[in-house]
Amino acid sequence: MTESLRLARAHFPVTALGYGRRLGLWVQGCPLACPGCIAKDTWDPDGGVAAGVGELLDDVRRAAEAGADGLTVSGGEPLRQARALGALLNGVREIGLDDFDLLVYTGYELAELDDEQRGTAALADVLITGRYVAAAPTGRIWRGSANQEMLLRTPLARARYTEFLEYEPPAPPIQVGAGPDGRAWWVGVPNRAETRRELDRALAALGYTVESVSWRRTRDR
């Protein structure tokens, strides 16, 4: 498979962006420039690294063997690389994993998608759509602002995610990790600005250099 996806980072297991334990991929490059975006380091389309789809499918297989429940693709803007992402999602479908869902974030609304993007979006079980709007906070799990919709497109998605459509946890799920080099990283959707500030302050108080959400490719298994 010759397609490659420009990636900002990858992580396993991710527990704060979708159902269960997941392989998380963050694509590099976003043209949407939402004010207040927490992932500005992913905007530059020339940043990150190129990862071959075949290599990523090996990551998916390994994650599934380790018990992953699904794949989450965030960013950056995943549908800016619709062809390569489509190749990856089709490849995962062809592996034929049982009970393994595909969750894709996009800052676009469905009506904005071109044919190629629509075809790729159709391969996701769960699609979370819409720009981040700082003026429209939400408490809904896995969404950054109230305008964002979680679309459940398959029976597996409806079985797993229906209970989460309106669910508002007491605090958004955030996963924190730290390396031996004194750098900390976190995963999640801190859907209130103060949540992110508190998180950064707490990690700094523990002596960690917070790398925003910019980490190297990491695997904890």
> Which residues of this protein are in contact with ligand SF4, per CB under 6 A?
30, 32-34, 37, 39, 42, 75-77, 107, 131-132
Least distance between ligand SF4 and beta carbon 42 (Å): 6
DSSP-based three-state secondary structure for 179: coil
Residues 128 and 148 sit within 8 Å (Cβ to Cβ): yes
Least distance between ligand SF4 and beta carbon 117 (Å): 14
Distance of alpha carbon 77 from alpha carbon 5, whole angstroms: 12
Least distance between ligand SF4 and beta carbon 88 (Å): 19
Distance of alpha carbon 177 from alpha carbon 206, whole angstroms: 12
Task: Output 9 or 131, the one with its CB closest to ligand SF4.
Answer: 131
Task: Output 41 or 125, the one with its CB closest to ligand SF4.
Answer: 41
- Which residues make beta-bridge pairs with 196? none
Place of tokens 């003026």: 135
Amino acid at 68: A
Least distance between ligand SF4 and beta carbon 75 (Å): 5
Task: Output 126 or 156, the one with its CB closest to ligand SF4.
Answer: 126
Rounded to the nearest angstrom, the gap between the alpha carbon of residue 132 and the centroid of all alpha carbons in its chain is: 14
Place of tokens 């459940």: 152
Task: Output 4 or 106, the one with its CB closest to ligand SF4.
Answer: 106
Distance of alpha carbon 25 from alpha carbon 79, whole angstroms: 13
Task: Output 45 or 173, the one with its CB closest to ligand SF4.
Answer: 45
- Buried-exposed string 176-214: b where 16+ CB fall within 10 A, e elsewhere: bebeeeebbbbbbbbbeeebbeebbeebeeeebebbebb
Task: Output 22 or 131, the one with its CB closest to ligand SF4.
Answer: 131
Distance of alpha carbon 25 from alpha carbon 201, whole angstroms: 26
Residue least distant from ligand SF4 (Cβ): 107
